[in-house]
Amino acid sequence: MRKKIVAGNWKMNENLQEGVALAKEINETLKADKPNCGVIICTPFIHLASVAQVLDRNVVELGAENCADKEKGAYTGEVSAAMVKSTGAQYVILGHSERRQYYHETPEILKEKVQLALANGLKVIFCCGETLDEREANKQNEVVKAELDGSVFNLSAEEWKNIVLAYEPIWAIGTGKTATSDQAEEMLAYIRTIVADKYGKEAAEDTTILYGGSCKPSNAAELFAKPNIDGGLIGGASLKAADFKGIIDAWKK
Ligand code: PEP
């Protein structure tokens, strides 16, 4: 049975004190009312070590939002997968469209990052998704397949077990414009078929695939009711404990 997950992506929000307070609030809220799914919060690098101290890992897991494509050395300002792991984090988000778009992360760079993350014992939440122009040209399947082919379909079956996929149509991220549950389901079902082509039906059935893009308490239940949607990667709504909890509670409906 594949794992249901709700993961928060804080992006570049919250200073250290605010981040620790938010993590504590999420942790306390979820300890008081246990979730029906895995919960992960992915924070900026500077929060990781402190947030690690306040989370009960049986309830909330921890992830980074990025890591370097190099192992170690003279790469000023970079943070390696080994450093992320040493904070106590268990996950890292890679391939987010904001990293691809603003920091020019290519499939080749992402392939390196994925390898290093896995080699250092991190699980990877790997994002893929098309732009609005690509969807309007009906190229979404092709784009998503190329992103997976370019960065993660080289992995061994053993390595694949540590991959969570997140489909995030770029036109839905932070725009308030959610993909309909049918659009999301259609893409996630497609992704599952290409995972099955590569790793077999059983592995595909075991792969957690999330939807991301303006997911909120009001639409989460409808999205999560779809058979191929195993949860959400949540940006804006993960910055308020009550909203994040509202999405997590969608698994109880
Ligand atoms: C994201 O950036 O991963 C995301 C899904 O953002 P939002 O929920 O704000 O659209």
> Is 5-87+106-114+132-250 assigned to CATH 3.20.20.70?
yes
pTM of model > 0.95? yes
Closest by alpha carbon to 132, among 99, 102, 171? 171
Angstrom distance (rounded) from CA 135 to CA 24: 39
Is it the case that residue 176 has pLDDT exceeding 90? no
Distance 101 CA to ligand 1 centre (A): 14
Residue 11 is assigned to a ligand binding site: yes
Residue 235 is assigned to a ligand binding site: yes
pLDDT in tens, 70-90: 999 999 999 999 999 999 999
State whether the beta carbon of 210 lies less than 6 angstroms from ligand 1: no
State whether the beta carbon of 234 lies less than 6 angstroms from ligand 1: yes
| Cα dihedral sign, 180-185-191-193 | negative
State whether the beta carbon of 238 lies less than 6 angstroms from ligand 1: no
Residue 80 is assigned to a ligand binding site: no
Nearest CA to ligand 1 atom 7: 235
Tell me the domain boundaries of the chain. 5-87+106-114+132-250
pLDDT in tens, 4-55: 999 999 999 999 999 999 999 999 999 999 999 999 999 999 999 999 999 9
Distance 196 CA to ligand 1 centre (A): 27
Q: How much is the average pLDDT of 131-144?
A: 96
How high is the pLDDT of residue 177?
78
Distance 20 CA to ligand 1 centre (A): 21
pLDDT in tens, 53-62: 999 999 999 9
Listed in sequence order, the residues at least 6 apart from 220 whose beta carbon sits closer than 8 Å to its beta carbon are 232, 246, 247, 250
State whether the beta carbon of 215 lies less than 6 angstroms from ligand 1: yes
pLDDT in tens, 91-109: 999 999 999 999 999 999 9
pLDDT in tens, 215-252: 999 999 999 999 999 999 999 999 999 999 999 999 98
